[in-house]
């Protein structure tokens, strides 16, 4: 016996990849769906949070928008966090179509392999709300066919139905997907940079070509966490906001950084979270209000430098945290020792880059904690230590995306090795390169970049009997004038 389903005029037997009988999840179309079906079908939450339209109107007014001219918000890059961030805006504000248009850009053509298509189909059939949504939109059969290998699915195609390729298990609300970069950004009022830091410069250089005739200046919110090192003519650190500023000429006052403790899938599933948007006061305060939701509280902060640098540093040290967790069988003691040492190095480094850096506390500390605990960089370190990944596989991992901590290890090490940045080591009473006071960073460089040490060597960096109390490193940073304004291209 074969069971057949007829959907939107098409009839097809639903069989599995071995051509055995397959029964789809039964759906009671007369029952009330769990959750909010309309949130997924049209992007509106019917003002669940209250005051959404008022917040949108305030931002529209600030940006000089008039009736009939919608605020245009574009997400650039469709990785996990970029997709979730754009989807949250679509879910909250998407129903106000006359006042706001929200879309996301991703590169076209990336195919979904058969194993992923099969798993995606299982996710669809385990979620009644998702299954019903796809059936209503006449999209269900393409996933049946994709699972059977009868057609090719593309990443941009499934994103239109609410699935991010790096986060298949977390269905999002459907998004308006654009694969032509010029079409996506040329008239955008707000651009969300969801690209890895390693791709930010290249894509925004392309974007700048489409903005040459612009009269108004867009606002850019960068989610990227990573840095580059520029060693000549003077050593400098290049953050994603600076990359965007250089590539486009958009003033730094219009470029903001948003960071905070965020595991993308958990935030979209409405687990309580908070974040900070950092940058010029004109934009950070209204944007914090606009982005705030009942489960996602956004504060604003003026210290763009510390937050963005910490965003790159936490990815560096998260790789080591994953290694330590795997090598010590999740020893809470060992992980806490690592946490103490790595955070002291992070504090030390920020004192080189900012005269009065934001304290590693509150959301800034929480962002570090969650990344060390569960982020993709920690996952990468764990799997390297377990032997399930190897360095020859590179730092772009299928199903996870770019492991940004790897390139950041190289950037920070090279930058802090420069003799022109020498600082006084008070214990030895001599000048040393800053990296000499960061033993964990040094070891990660030896493991990941020049590959002269095995993964197990990360434990040696913790067990070195000559290593000082991490508090000492913090006191050295705070009591000595290490600030090097030239590192960010600023005048002393």
Q: At what angle do helices 362-374 and 332-353 cross, to 10 degrees?
A: 130
Which listed residue (65, 314, 400, 442) is catalytic? 314
Token couple for 191: 């651009």
Q: Please give the Cα distance from 443 to 463 (Å, whole number).
A: 12
Q: Please give the Cα distance from 408 to 404 (Å, whole number).
A: 6
Q: Please give the Cα distance from 458 to 167 (Å, whole number).
A: 30
Task: Note whether 433 and 419 are within 8 A (CB).
Answer: yes
CA angle 380, 385, 386 (to 5 degrees): 95
Region for 430 from its dihedrals, namely left if φ exceeds 0, alpha if ψ lies in -120 to 50, beta otherwise: beta
Element holding 163 (H helix, E strand): none
Q: Please give the Cα distance from 239 to 229 (Å, whole number).
A: 9
314 is catalytic: yes
Which residues fall within 8 angstroms of residue 9, CB to CB, at 6 or more apart? none
Q: Please give the Cα distance from 217 to 215 (Å, whole number).
A: 7
226, 231, 234, 239 alpha-carbon torsion, rounded to 10°: -10
Determine if the peptide bond prior to 249 is cis (ω within 30°). no
SS3 state at 216: coil
**223 vs 103, 228, 276, 277, 307, CA distance in Å?**
16, 16, 11, 10, 11
Q: Are strands 100-105 and 71-76 parallel, antiparallel or unpaired?
A: parallel
Q: Please give the Cα distance from 480 to 272 (Å, whole number).
A: 39
Task: Note whether 316 and 409 are within 8 A (CB).
Answer: yes
Please identify every residue annotated as catalytic.
314
């Amino acid at each position: 016996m074969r069971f057949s389903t007829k959907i939107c005029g098409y009839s097809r037997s639903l069989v599995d990849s071995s051509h055995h009988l397959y029964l789809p999840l039964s759906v009671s179309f007369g029952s009330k769906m769990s959750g909010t079906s309309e949130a997924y079908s049209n992007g509106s939450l019917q003002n669940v949070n209250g005051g959404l339209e008022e917040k949108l109107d305030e931002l529209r007014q600030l940006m000089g928008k008039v009736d009939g001219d919608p605020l245009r918000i574009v997400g650039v890059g469709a990785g996990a966090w970029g997709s979730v961030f754009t989807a949250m805006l679509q879910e909250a504000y998407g129903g106000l179509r006359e006042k706001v248009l929200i879309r996301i850009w991703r590169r076209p053509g990336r195919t979904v392999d058969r194993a992923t298509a099969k798993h995606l189909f299982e996710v669809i059939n385990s979620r009644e709300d998702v299954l019903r949504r796809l059936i209503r939109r006449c999209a269900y059969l393409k996933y049946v066919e994709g699972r059977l290998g009868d057609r090719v699915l593309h990443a941009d195609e499934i994103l239109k139905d609410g699935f991010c390729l790096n986060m298949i298990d977390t269905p999002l609300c459907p998004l308006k997907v654009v694969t032509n970069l010029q079409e996506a950004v040329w008239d955008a009022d707000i651009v969300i940079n969801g690209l890895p830091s390693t791709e930010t410069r290249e894509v925004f250089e392309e974007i700048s070509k489409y903005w040459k005739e612009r009269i108004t200046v867009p606002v850019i919110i960068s989610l990227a966490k990573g840095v580059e090192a520029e060693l000549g003519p003077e050593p400098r650190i290049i953050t994603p906001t600076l990359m965007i500023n250089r590539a486009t000429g958009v003033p730094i006052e219009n470029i903001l950084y948003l960071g905070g403790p965020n595991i993308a899938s958990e935030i979209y599933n409405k687990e309580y979270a908070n974040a900070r948007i950092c940058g010029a006061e004109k934009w950070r305060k209204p944007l914090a209000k606009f982005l705030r939701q009942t489960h996602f509280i956004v504060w604003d902060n003026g210290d763009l430098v510390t937050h963005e640098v910490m965003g790159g540093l936490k990815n560096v040290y998260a790789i080591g945290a994953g290694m330590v967790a795997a090598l010590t069988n999740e020893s809470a003691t060992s992980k806490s020792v690592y946490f103490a040492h790595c955070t002291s190095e992070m504090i030390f480094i920020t004192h080189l880059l900012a005269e009065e850096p934001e304290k590693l506390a509150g959301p800034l500390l929480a962002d570090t904690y969650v990344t060390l605990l569960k982020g993709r960089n920690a996952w990468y370190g764990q799997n390297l230590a377990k032997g399930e990944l190897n360095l020859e596989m590179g730092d772009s991992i299928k199903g996870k995306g770019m492991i940004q901590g790897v390139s950041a290890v190289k950037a920070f090490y090279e930058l802090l090795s420069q003799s022109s940045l020498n600082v006084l080591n008070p214990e030895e009473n001599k000048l040393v390169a800053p990296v000499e006071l960061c033993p964990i960073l040094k070891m990660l460089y030896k493991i990941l970049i020049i590959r002269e040490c095995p993964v197990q060597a990360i434990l040696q960096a913790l067990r070195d009997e000559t290593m000082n109390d991490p508090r000492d490193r913090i006191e050295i940073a705070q009591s000595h004038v290490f600030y090097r304004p030239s590192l960010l291209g600023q005048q002393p």
